Structure 1
Amino acid sequence: MTVFEEILAVRAAEAEIPLTDAQIAQFAVYNEMLTDWNTRINLTALTSPEDVAVKHIIDSLTAYDAALFDGAKTLIDVGTGAGLPGIPLAVYAPHIRVTLMDALQKRVLFLMEVTRAMGLTNTAAVHARAEEAARQTEHREHYDIAVSRAVARMPVLLEYALPFVRVGGTLLALKGRAYAEEAAEGAGAARRLGGGTTLARPVHLPGLDDVRAILSVRKERPTPKGYPRRHIK
């Protein structure tokens, strides 16, 4: 086992997120390629083995909820960046078809290469701006789950991401210390865009004492045709 694989195995066990040897090996490929590509394009400021294991992979996997994911078939990661949280969730829930969407072509190229190297067959990388793709028939109200991490505060994120979710589906937003404030801030936007009440599920990352939570919004009604706007404020 490499240092990274050892750290990931220990930290995942501490987080009570069981990973198989095969999954750990897939994440080792991800770590190696992320570190390599990051020397050429800006993917992340966090590249130490501990940071990739905990702040990227385990953090992404905290979005997983068996009750929600077991019955889901499609997921979109809006503004995926380096493939987070979409790639870890694709590894952990291989029955779900995961769309990784990003507005930067160079990052999409990385996503295509790294998912191929990891042997993932349930992912697709899409080069698109969320506010444009969410108006396209093949994406609008098409997904069981939309996820997003570190893209925008809740009122803006809801407008970017909730139009992708089918009625009855769920938006999951990975948030930090200000999650309660953000949930309150986004309540009006959630209702306006067809969503219900914003629920918060606090999560903990092993070895860290910071505050994090998964905010979830269930889609109750279709998003009005005027959203998302071309220029979201």
Structure 2
Amino acid sequence: MSNNYEQNQTGNREDHQLQLAEENFIQQLSMFGMTLSSSQLEKFRRYYENLVKVNEVMNLTTITEEKEVYSKHFLDSLSIVGLIPPRDFVNLSVIDIGTGAGFPGLPLAIAFPQTQVTLVDSLQKRVKFLEETVQLLGLENVHIFHARAEDYARIETEREKYDIAVSRAVAKLNVLAEYCMPFVKKGGYFIAYKAEKIKEEMDEGKKAVKILGGRVDQVISFQLPGTDYNRTLVQVIKEKHTSGKYPRKAGTPAKDPLGT
């Protein structure tokens, strides 16, 4: 009987913490000029619950506490609205390169159901998690592919197809640019989610971006509302077509980055 009582108490505490995280998330989003429906909030809740459940047997994230996940994963993913207003996320196509556990692509897909989101990751286990999560959430605007970015960009129908390419992957700007720019249509954007300190990356990053047909359009740095977490977003506009020789073969962009 005591075990059942303790389990109930634990469950109640977890539900309370999740509710607090959700309420905080709603307030944080309002600072970005965003509101979500009860259905969308329920999808984020299910996403969180599945993430921490699967994370017990698979290394998806080191962040598992309710408030932290909602702020440093969900809110952070949606911080792109600092560059592209929510009203503009209609009938857009977005590709997320090196999506990992689905960030930033899945939160964008939940928040903007009229946007088509493609998730690309090189690890089969993560892809399986993403497929199961998308099915669990009933998302019909998400497409998932198991591939390295360098190989996926060789598929002719995927090149210069997307309005926006995003990546929160851990790599320097010049490397991310070679992974992402080939997917962006002329006039579209590549947006890199970077840490606060990016100055040392910018010179090489700008050179790489220019080689790939783009130009750094905006760089914004800010603190995520209600947190001590600093984020920098780099927005690159695609002005010219990317040469067919990019990206180079798998592994080369990281080993021999452009612009160095």
TM-score range, shorter chain: over 0.9
The answer to whether the Cα contact below 8 Å between 2:222 and 2:231 also exists between their aligned partners in 1 is yes
Cα distance change of structure 1 residues 9 and 20 upon mapping to structure 2, 3 Å threshold? farther
Q: Does residue 34 of structure 2 align to residue 20 of structure 1?
A: no
CA 143–94 in structure 1, closer or farther in 2 if over 3 Å, else same: same
CA distance in 2, matches of 1:72, 1:215: 23
| Local SS of the residue matching 2:208 | helix
Cα offset, 1:2, TM superposition: 4.9
**Residues 16-95 of structure 1 correspond to what in structure 2 (within 5 A)?**
16=31, 17-64=34-81, 65-66=84-85, 69-70=88-89, 72-95=91-114
1:71: Cα distance to partner?
A: 5.1
The equivalences for 1:1-233 within 5 A come to 2-15=16-29, 16=31, 17-64=34-81, 65-66=84-85, 69-70=88-89, 72-230=91-249, 231-232=252-253, 233=255
Say which is worse superposed, 200-209 or 210-219, in terms of deviation. 200-209
Q: CA deviation at 1:70?
A: 3.1
Whole-angstrom distance in 1 between the partners of 2:245 and 2:96: 22
Distance 2:121 2:207 in 1: 26
Report the CA distance between 1:115 and its aligned residue.
Answer: 1.0
Query: What residue in structure 1 maps to residue 4 of structure 2?
Result: none
Runs of 5+ consecutive residues of structure 1 not aligned to the other structure: none
Measure, in 2, the Cα distance between the counterparts of 1:142 and 1:47: 35
Contact 2:28 2:75 in 1 (8 A): no
Structure 2 counterpart of 1:148, one-letter code: S
Q: Distance in 1 between matches of 2:119 and 2:87?
A: 19
Aligned residues: 233
Larger Rg belongs to: 2
8 A Cα contact 2:99 2:169, kept in partner: no
Distance 2:40 2:200 in 1: 35
Deviates more, 1:62-71 or 1:158-167: 62-71
C-alpha separation between the residues in 1 aligned to 2:171 and 2:96? 13
- Is the 1:75–1:147 contact (alpha carbons within 8 Å) kept by the matching residues of 2? yes
In structure 2, the gaps of 5 or more residues are 1-14, 256-260
Secondary structure, aligned partner of 1:207:
coil
TM-score by length of 1: 0.93
Structure 1 distance, partners of 2:86, 2:25, is 23
Once the two structures are TM-superposed, the CA of residue 198 in structure 1 deviates from its matched residue by 4.1
Letter matched to residue 29 of structure 1:
R
Matched residue, 2:258: none
> Is the deviation greater in 208-217 or in 50-59?
208-217
**1:67, CA displacement in angstroms?**
6.9
Contact 1:11-1:206 within 8 A present in 2 as well: no
Task: Call closer, same or farther: CA 1:71–1:207 in 2, change over 3 Å.
Answer: closer
CA contact (8 A) 2:153 2:183 kept: yes
CA apart distance, 1:184 = 3.2
Conserved in 2, the CA contact under 8 Å of 1:86 and 1:100? yes
Q: Return the alpha-carbon distance in structure 1 between the equivalents of residues 179 and 91 of structure 2.
A: 21
Percent identity reads 41
Taking a change above 3 Å as real, the CA distance of residues 210 and 184 of structure 1, as seen in their structure-2 partners, is farther
- Bigger proportion of residues as helix: 2
Q: Please, what TM-score do these two structures have when normalized by structure 2? A: 0.84
Distance 1:119 1:200 in 2: 34
Q: Which moved more, 1:209-218 or 1:166-175?
A: 209-218
Provide the C-alpha distance between the structure 1 equivalents of 2:225 and 2:90, rounded to a whole number of angstroms.
28
